[in-house]
Amino acid sequence: MTNSEAPKPFAIELTRTAENRYVATNGKGGHIEFGRGEDLMSPVELLLAAIAGCSSIDVDTVTSRRTEPQDFTVTARSEKVTEDGDASRLGPISLNFDITFPNDEAGQRATAMIERLVKLSHDKYCTVSRTVEHGTPVTFDVASDSDA
């Protein structure tokens, strides 16, 4: 970011819809349901999806200018680690990119770009994975209803 660029704010609002079911909505109206249940993604799975999605967008944006992929699958994996005092977090996160393009000149050019684009995403462009790797502080605030 250059000195002349203003920071880009991000925000979501989370609403409880039922026990252990939530909807996160952004300012553009996009939303996703998640929580605890057989038919829902968990918050940890959403984090993995955000990392995979962020890098996928980086790679897809550039390669799709050449040709459409025949298959574009990214798998994100990690394991829960329990530390002293039963505090939990994720261990190392790995992404596996499985992308194929048609076997023609445009497809070969797109295929040749994948490794470099994945590296650029990791090293520079994927805000989500870079935030996780750099350990950005998270603060919690509880609103109080003083009129109750």
pLDDT in tens, 20-38: 999 999 999 999 999 999 9
Confidence of residue 145 (pLDDT cuts 50, 70, 90): confident
Every domain of the chain and the residues it spans? 11-40, 42-134
**CATH, domain range 42-134:** 3.30.300.20
Asked if 93 contacts 77 with a C-beta cutoff of 8 angstroms, the reply is: yes
Task: Tell me the per-residue pLDDT of 81-116, one tens digit each, with 9 for 90 and over.
Answer: 998 888 999 999 999 999 999 999 999 999 999 999
| For the chain, percent of residues with pLDDT exceeding 70 | 95
Task: Kindly write down the DSSP assignment for every residue of 39-107, as one continuous string.
Answer: TS--HHHHHHHHHHHHHHHHHHHHHTTT---SEEEEEEE--EEE-GGG-EEE---EEEEEEE--SSHHH
Mean pLDDT calculated for residue range 29-56: 96
Confidence check: pLDDT of 3 > 80: no
Tell me phi and psi for residue 23, to 5 degrees: -125, 125
Question: Within a 10 A sphere around the Cβ of 60, how many other Cβ atoms?
Answer: 17
pLDDT confidence of residue 144 = 82
